[in-house]
Structure 1
Amino acid sequence: MARQTRILSLLVFSLALIGGGMGVLNFLTDSWILIILSNAKAAPAPVAGHSSVLNPVNNTLVVFGGNNAKNYTNSLKTYDVVNDAWISINDTTPKPSNQFMPSPRSGHVAITTPTNMMYVFGGRNDTTIFQDIYKYDMVDDIWIQLNVSGTPPAPRYGHSGIMYPITNEFLFFGGMGTTGVLSDIVKFEFESNTWSTLQPGNNNIVGLGVYGHSAVLNMANQMVVFGGIVDTNNKTTDQLQFFDVVHGNWVNHTLNTTSGHPAARSGHAAVITPLNQMLVFGGNFGNGATQQTWKYDFTYNTWLTVSPTGYGPDHGLYGQTCTSTLFNTMMVFGGQSSGSDFYNDIFKYNIITSVLRSQSDGVVLVVLLTIVCSMIIGLCFALDLMAEKNEIERLERLEQEAATNELKKVTIAKEKKKSKEERQPLFETF
C-alpha cells in the first residue's frame, strides 16, 4: 500500500511539472485575477458597444468595433489569453478581404461557429442603423463575402444573439430599430446563409421587447434574456425571459421565493458557466453604472449576489464585453462609466475552482505541489521503514517461539524417558 501511495505521489508530481508549464491550478473561485499585461501599446482605443469573442484555436479574444466620445470604429484587435498580451497587427498594408468587412459601428452582435467563423450582425453609427451581416475567418484572418437569401430582418442595435449548435443557426432577439424597441426573434442559418423570422408557439406568453439586454443559452437549450431597456424613455427592467429553442416558444419562469434579485439595468454582460449558472457583470441603472456581479442558478432558480476578491474594476461599467475562455475564466474588456469616460482596460475573472490560468503562475504550482508530494513521499518511506521493522520483529518472535517449542519438546521427551525408567521393577520374578 505504501509503495502504491508513493507511485501515486510521483505521478502527481509529474502532473505538477506539466501543469506548471501550461498554467496553474487556481483554488479561488469568484475572484479577479491580477493581469500583468504585455504589449499594452497594441491595445484598442478606449471603447464601448464593441464585441468580443473567443478564438479557441489559439486562445485569443477577437475584439471588433465599438465607439467612444470621438468616433465609431471597425478596428479588429486580438488578445492572447494565455500570455496576457495584446497582439500587434500590421495594418499598414490593406488586405483584399477588407472590402467585405463591416463599416464602423457599435451595438452590434458577434457570434462564432464551431468552424471558427465570426459573424457580425447589425449595429449603428451616428446616422444609420444596420441590418447587414458579415463573416470573418478567425484562423486565416480574412473577411469573407456572404451571399444571403431569405428576408433580411429589420435594422437594429443593442440586440442579443446566441448560437444553437444542434441546428447550426443563430437566434437574434430584440434591439432598437428605426420604429422603436423590437421584440422579434430572427434566425440565421449559417450553413445556408438564410434569414427567417421565428413565429413563437401560441402559448399566451409574449416576449418583452428590450434592447441593451443580455442573452445566454443554458443547458436546457433555453435562451435566457435578462434586463434591458423597454421603451424610448430609457426605462430599464429586471425581468428574466426564457425562450425554449427546441419547441420555439416563450415559457413561464418562477423565481424561488427565497431569492434575492438584481436591480433593473442595461448595458451589462452575461456568460454561462459550467456550473449551470449565468454570471452577470456591470450595467447601467439609468442613473449610474455599477460593477456588481450576480449569479443566476438554473438548478434552484435563485439569484446570488457575489462579492469577488482580487484586482477587478474600481468603477462601474456598462457597454463592456464579457467573454468565457477555455480556462473557466471570464475576460472583461472596455466599456464606459457613468460619465463620459471610456476604457480599454482588460480584467480576468475566475469563474470556478481548479482552472488553468497562465504560464507565469506555473512556478507557484510546481513549488506548492513539490512540497506536498515531498511530504507524501517522505511519509511513504517512513511507513515502509516501520513496516520493515515490524516484519523483522515478527520474524524474530517466530524464531523465538520455534526455539522455545523445540526446547519444550526435548524436555518433555527426557521427562518421559526418565519416568519410564522409574517404572521398571527392582526385582525380576522367577
Structure 2
Amino acid sequence: MERYSQPTQPEREQRGKGFPKEHRLLLPEEAPQTVELPAVAGHTLTVRRGLSLLLVGGYSPENGFNQQLLEYQLATGTWVSGAQSGTPPTGLYGHSAVYHEATDSLYVFGGFRFHVELAAPSSELYSLHCPDRTWSLLAPSQGAKPRPRLFHASALLGDTMVVLGGRSDPDEFSSDVLLYQVNCNSWLLPDLTRKFIAVPASPRPGTPAH
C-alpha cells in the first residue's frame, strides 16, 4: 500500500497554479475551521453578497479583544474562522464596517484600537479583500486622514462610505460627516462636507413652528 505524505509548500503552490485563488481546492491546513462564537460586544457584523456575515473585532472582559475573523455561513448555519494575511487590526471595539461589492472588500474604520499594549481611539482605515482574506492598512492617496472616530455609524452609498455621529474621543461627541471615496482612496473631511450640508434656519420670533 502506498503511504500518503503531506505535500511540501512548493507542491502546494504548484497544485494551485492556473486557477483563480477563490476556485482552488483548499488543503486541510488552509480550510476554514468550524468554531463556536465567542461572547463579544462592540463588534461589527456585515453581510457579504447575501451569502455570509463577517464579524470583525469586539471585546469581552473574559477574553479581551477578539482578533479572529469570523464568518457565519448562511447556507450551513455555522461559524467558521480561517487564516488571515496582510496587516489585520490587532483588536477593535466600537468601529464601523461597510461591504463594497464591486471589489468584494470590507472597509473597517475607527473605533478603539488595541495596539502595542494600549487601546486608544483610532482614525485608521482597514480593508479586507474577502476572497483571499488579506488585510491592508490604507493611507489616503491624497489629503489627510480624519480625526479618530468611535461608536459612530457608517453606510455605503455607491462607491462612497458615509461616516456619521459618534465621538472623536471618549468625552467629545461629533456631528461632523466624513466621506471616504473607495475608488480614489481619499477622504472628504468636515471642512469640505459642511459646505454641502444645509443647516435649517432658526424660526423668526413669533413664527409658529411646524
TM-score by length of 2: 0.71
Q: 1:228 aligns with which of 138, 162, 166?
A: 166
Instruction: Work out whether residues 101 and 134 of structure 1, in 8 Å CA contact, stay in contact via their aligned partners in 2.
Output: no
Q: 2:95 aligns with which of 159, 162, 165?
A: 159
Instruction: Work out whether residues 155 and 163 of structure 2, in 8 Å CA contact, stay in contact via their aligned partners in 1.
Output: yes
Higher-Rg structure is 1
Supply the AA of the counterpart residue of 1:226.
L
Q: 1:181 aligns with which of 121, 145, 153?
A: 121
Q: 2:48 aligns with which of 113, 117, 141?
A: 113
Q: 2:60 aligns with which of 100, 125, 137?
A: 125
Give 1:231 shift. 1.4
Give 1:130 shift. 2.2
Supply the AA of the counterpart residue of 2:108.
F
In structure 2, relative to structure 1, the CA distance for the partners of 1:102 and 1:162 (3 Å cut) is same
Give 1:254 shift. 3.7
For 1:257 and 1:141, the matched residues in 2 are separated by 43
Q: Number of paired residues? A: 163
The reply to whether residue 238 of structure 1 matches residue 178 of structure 2 is no
Secondary structure in structure 1 of the residue aligned to 2:93:
coil
Supply the AA of the counterpart residue of 2:103.
T
Secondary structure in structure 1 of the residue aligned to 2:71:
strand
Instruction: Work out whether residues 129 and 177 of structure 1, in 8 Å CA contact, stay in contact via their aligned partners in 2.
Output: no
Secondary structure in structure 1 of the residue aligned to 2:54:
strand
In structure 2, relative to structure 1, the CA distance for the partners of 1:257 and 1:201 (3 Å cut) is closer
In structure 2, relative to structure 1, the CA distance for the partners of 1:115 and 1:227 (3 Å cut) is closer
Give 1:206 shift. 2.3
Pairing of 1:400-415 with structure 2 (within 5 A): none
Q: 2:77 aligns with which of 127, 136, 141?
A: 141
The reply to whether residue 259 of structure 1 matches residue 196 of structure 2 is no
For 2:181 and 2:197, the matched residues in 1 are separated by 23
Gaps of 5+ in 1: 1-96, 262-306, 308-430
Give 1:113 shift. 1.2
Secondary structure in structure 1 of the residue aligned to 2:65:
coil
Give 1:131 shift. 2.6
The reply to whether residue 248 of structure 1 matches residue 185 of structure 2 is yes
Give 1:256 shift. 4.5
In structure 2, relative to structure 1, the CA distance for the partners of 1:256 and 1:101 (3 Å cut) is same
Structure with the larger helix share:
1
Structure with the larger strand share:
2
Instruction: Work out whether residues 34 and 78 of structure 2, in 8 Å CA contact, stay in contact via their aligned partners in 1.
Output: no
For 2:33 and 2:39, the matched residues in 1 are separated by 12
Instruction: Work out whether residues 96 and 154 of structure 2, in 8 Å CA contact, stay in contact via their aligned partners in 1.
Output: yes
The one-character-per-residue Cα deviations of 1:260-288 (angstroms, maximum 9, x if unpaired) are: 39xxxxxxxxxxxxxxxxxxxxxxxxxxx
The one-character-per-residue Cα deviations of 1:76-132 (angstroms, maximum 9, x if unpaired) are: xxxxxxxxxxxxxxxxxxxxx995133101110011111511110101112512232
Give 1:138 shift. 1.1
Return structure 1 stretches of 4+ with deviation > 4 angstroms.
none
Instruction: Work out whether residues 164 and 178 of structure 2, in 8 Å CA contact, stay in contact via their aligned partners in 1.
Output: yes
For 1:158 and 1:258, the matched residues in 2 are separated by 28
Secondary structure in structure 1 of the residue aligned to 2:172:
coil
TM-score by length of 1: 0.36
Gaps of 5+ in 2: 1-31, 202-209
For 1:210 and 1:258, the matched residues in 2 are separated by 23
- Larger relative CO (CA 8 A, sep 6+): 1 or 2? 1
Identical pairs, percent:
22
In structure 2, relative to structure 1, the CA distance for the partners of 1:121 and 1:256 (3 Å cut) is closer
For 1:240 and 1:115, the matched residues in 2 are separated by 28
Give 1:133 shift. 1.1
